[in-house]
Amino acid sequence: MGELRGRVAVVTGAGSGFGREFARLAADAGMALVLVDVQADALAETAAGLEATGTTVMQRRLDVADGDAMQTLAHDAWARFGAVHLLFNNAGVGTTGLLWEASVQDWEWVLGVNLWGTIHGVRAFVPRMLEAAAKDPGYRGHVVNTASMAGLVDPPLTGPYNVAKHAVVSLSETLHQDLSLVGERVGCSVLCPSWVGTGIAKADRNRDPRAARTRTRAAAVGQALVDKAVASAKTTARDVARLTFEAIAERRFWILPHPQALAGVRARHDALQTQAPPPDPYTALPQLRRQILDALHAP
């Protein structure tokens, strides 16, 4: 990417977690920012903190699942700044429970934000980025899609989230291949973290209160697992953001903040090659699987 000062970054899910840290590091690098979140107060807090440091900020409250809103965002970003150089398709939500218990509204919400939000981001911004590259030999652009280790392995009790994140990994790999056919000035990366202390465990706070939610024992067990994992995570959102900016600078595709989690990916690939059933993603943590089973089957 080269020098970031004076360039423009778009960050979805900018109100908290990875998005807020992406925005802070982009501001530290001297970039102007287009910040997006569905939660108005969190977005305003992020924007105000950065504007106080002298950063130029355009903020927009919108749902990334709304394709028309994302197209309007891209149009307005170009109208104000003349170009966008970094795009962070980062907004994410999740639900828990057994796969067949998830409501249609659960599926629509998780896929709408995690997958369709990324699709809309790519469709709205990448064509404009490629057009900018065609007009300006000095232009460089990069897209970062936030997926998850749940896009590379499949833990139980998080079905819709797993499905969405696997799709984001596939989308990102395909984007990499397609971009390679049309030039070298726009690149992409996919971020696949494991547990990090972010607000995704509380994502339900921004959901339509009228939507049907899965309120089963399995959903409660899964939520307790997520809450505990997030609360005890040693890696911070800031750590992940720093690694992400390093990957952007190096034009590296895979961003893997938890390399120890790749053991599960290797086990999955080994099972695929030998046509064995999918391995237990908690093989290295047998006590965790036992706790889940005990909680599910408690009288």
Over residues 82-106, mean pLDDT: 95
- Determine the residue type at 247: A
pLDDT score of 227 = 87
Which has more pLDDT, 208 or 126? 126
- Determine the residue type at 8: V
Cα 184 to Cα 1, 79, 137, 179, 180, distances in angstroms: 11, 25, 11, 7, 6
Any idea how long the chain is? 299
In sequence order, the 6+-apart residues with CB closer than 8 A to the CB of 192 are 147, 148, 149, 151, 152, 169, 254, 255, 256
Beta strands in 20-140, from DSSP E residues, in sequence order: 32-37, 57-61, 86-89
Instruction: Pick the catalytic residue from 116, 161, 195, 245.
Output: 161
In a domain, 284, yes or no: no
Per-residue model confidence as pLDDT tens digits over 277-288: 999 887 777 788
Q: Which helix (H) or strand (E) holds 143?
A: strand 141-146
Q: Which domain holds residue 196?
A: 8-258
State the greatest distance between any 2 C-alpha atoms of the chain, in Å, as a whole number.
Answer: 67
Is 282 annotated as catalytic? Answer: no
pLDDT score of 199 = 66
Domains identified in the chain, total number: 1
In a domain, 147, yes or no: yes
Count the alpha carbons within 13 Å of 134 in the hemisphere toward its beta carbon.
8
Over residues 120-129, mean pLDDT: 98
Q: List the CATH number of the domain containing 158.
A: 3.40.50.720
In a domain, 285, yes or no: no
In a domain, 126, yes or no: yes
Residue 123 has pLDDT above 90, yes or no: yes
pLDDT score of 275 = 96
Query: Picking from 109-118, 264-273, 285-294, which range would have the lowest pLDDT averaged per residue?
Result: 285-294
Task: Say what percent of the chain tops pLDDT 90.
Answer: 81
In a domain, 293, yes or no: no
Over residues 263-271, mean pLDDT: 94
CA angle, residues 175, 72, 7, in degrees to nearest 5: 65
In this prediction, residue 201 has a pLDDT band, given cuts at 50, 70 and 90, of low
In a domain, 80, yes or no: yes
In a domain, 75, yes or no: yes
Query: Picking from 17-26, 152-161, 208-217, which range would have the lowest pLDDT averaged per residue?
Result: 208-217
Tell which residue, 79, 169, 78, has the closest CA to residue 129: 78
In a domain, 287, yes or no: no
- Predicted TM-score (pTM) of the model is 0.94
pLDDT score of 137 = 94
